[in-house]
Amino acid sequence: MNEVWRARSGIVARRCARGRVRSRRRGSGCRCVAAAGSAAGPALPAGADLPAGLPDSGRGLRVHRRRERPVHRGRAVDQAGQPGRPGPPARSLGPDQILHDAGIDPAPRRTGPTWKQFLTAQARGILAVDFVHVDTVLLRRIYALIVIEHGTRRVHLAGITANPDGAWTTQAARNFLLDLGQRSASVKFLIRDRAGQFTGSFPAVFTAEGIRILASPPRAPRANAICERIIGTMRREVLDRLLIVHEHHLRRVLTEYLRHYNTARPHRALGQLAPAQAETRPPEPINLAKHQIRRKQVLGGLTHEYQIAA
């Protein structure tokens, strides 16, 4: 490459063999501009001067480059070649900016319903399943398989094990459908994540009953938000406040808590009703000043239930 270097107001200019003039301020990146005349002229001989009409200052070089290429690097230069504002050239427009300028959203509204609309419309026919793990005081990890009904928010404990392999998960699915009984006929969808415990035989159990499996996208917990929320509630109200010793202890704790959760704990999504009351009419309001309230301890006082004394 035949080059000529010349310093002008802190600018170093050169011309390469392709006939293009390159300008670079010391310590910054190189910026190319088209050479005056042809875009592919011969290389300058050693000792030759730069082309006539090339400005001497760094600002002039920028203006010259903009006039030669008025749409180079986007929005800062108008068609007359005058810079919109001083400073370095703007970056090229990305796909989002191009779509925005054209009046098109990056993700336009699709013809089908959104995920939230789908969950709301099909709530009574949707089940969601996920694992929750607990570390015991003996440094062992135990897994519990949780299933929740979207429509009523009723939670089921499908099983507890220290080795949740594919065979165990499949058997737990069979046992859960047997316990569900006639209510399984109204279930249309099952939402699960992509955990390795859900092998090919697990969805086959539900598919045989006419239930469609919906696998959530990778690393998208909000796609299974209702099941993730109950797991977070269990951790905040029980698991983070108790020391679990073994599987039998965990089963007893979760069984008692889920009985309280399904029969006595109010839910905002159900109008402050418990899941067991979701399919019934709300009770008539009463004057608590005329009744005695009895408090019942749950899990040794970890939480409480309140009832009207007889």
Same domain flag for 81 and 127: no
Per-residue tokens: 265: 């704990």
Q: How many CA atoms lie within 13 A of 102 on its CB side?
A: 11
Same domain flag for 73 and 120: no
| Highest mean pLDDT, choosing among 41-50, 51-60, 200-209 | 200-209
**Pairing relationship of beta strands 11-15 and 141-149 according to DSSP bridges:** unpaired
Same domain flag for 130 and 258: yes
pLDDT of 293 reads 87
How distant, in Å, are the alpha carbons of 1, 84, 98, 100, 157 from that of 92? 29, 15, 10, 14, 55
pLDDT of 258 reads 95
pLDDT of 72 reads 44
Same domain flag for 210 and 147: yes
Residue carrying the six token digits 């499949």: 170
Report DSSP state, residue 90: P
Once rounded to an integer, what is the mean pLDDT over residues 147-160? 94
Same domain flag for 258 and 119: yes
Give domain status of residue 295, yes or no. no
End-to-end alpha carbon distance in the chain: 100
Give domain status of residue 81, yes or no. yes
93 pLDDT band, cuts 50/70/90, is low
Q: pLDDT for 185-240, tens place per residue?
A: 899 999 999 988 898 899 999 999 999 999 999 888 889 999 999 999 999 999 99
* Domain of 34, in residue numbers: 6-90
**Cα–Cα dist 156/180, whole Å:** 9
How distant, in Å, are the alpha carbons of 265, 273, 279, 304, 310 from that of 307? 12, 14, 21, 10, 9
**Cα–Cα dist 112/25, whole Å:** 54
Give domain status of residue 288, yes or no. no
Q: Which of 52-66, 104-118, 239-253, 280-294 has the lowest mean pLDDT?
A: 52-66
Q: pLDDT for 104-125, tens place per residue?
A: 665 555 567 888 888 888 888 9
Is 50 exceeded by the pLDDT of residue 144? yes
Name beta bridge partners: 19.
none
Give domain status of residue 105, yes or no. no
Same domain flag for 215 and 269: yes
What pTM, to 2 d.p., does this model score?
Answer: 0.62
Q: Which of 11-15, 107-111, 285-289, 290-294 has the lowest mean pLDDT?
A: 11-15
In this structure, the number of other CB atoms found within 10 A of the CB of residue 63 comes to 16
Same domain flag for 243 and 144: yes
Indicate which CATH number applies to the domain containing 214: 3.30.420.10
Is 50 exceeded by the pLDDT of residue 137? yes
Per-residue tokens: 36: 């005056």
Report DSSP state, residue 33: E
pLDDT of 27 reads 47
Q: Which of 65-69, 156-160, 253-257 has the lowest mean pLDDT?
A: 65-69
Between 47 and 308, name the one with better pLDDT.
308
Average pLDDT value over all residues in the chain: 76
Is 70 exceeded by the pLDDT of residue 260? yes
The percentage of residues in the chain with a pLDDT greater than 70, rounded to a whole number, is 65
Is 90 exceeded by the pLDDT of residue 3? no
Count the domains in the chain.
2
pLDDT of 73 reads 45
| Residue type present at position 187 | V
44 pLDDT band, cuts 50/70/90, is very low
Same domain flag for 146 and 198: yes
| Highest mean pLDDT, choosing among 13-22, 23-32, 73-82, 87-96 | 87-96
Same domain flag for 270 and 156: yes
Q: Which of 28-37, 46-55, 217-226, 275-284 has the lowest mean pLDDT?
A: 28-37
Same domain flag for 123 and 199: yes
Same domain flag for 122 and 244: yes
Once rounded to an integer, what is the mean pLDDT over residues 70-92? 48
Same domain flag for 142 and 227: yes
Per-residue tokens: 91: 């970056």
Give domain status of residue 120, yes or no. yes
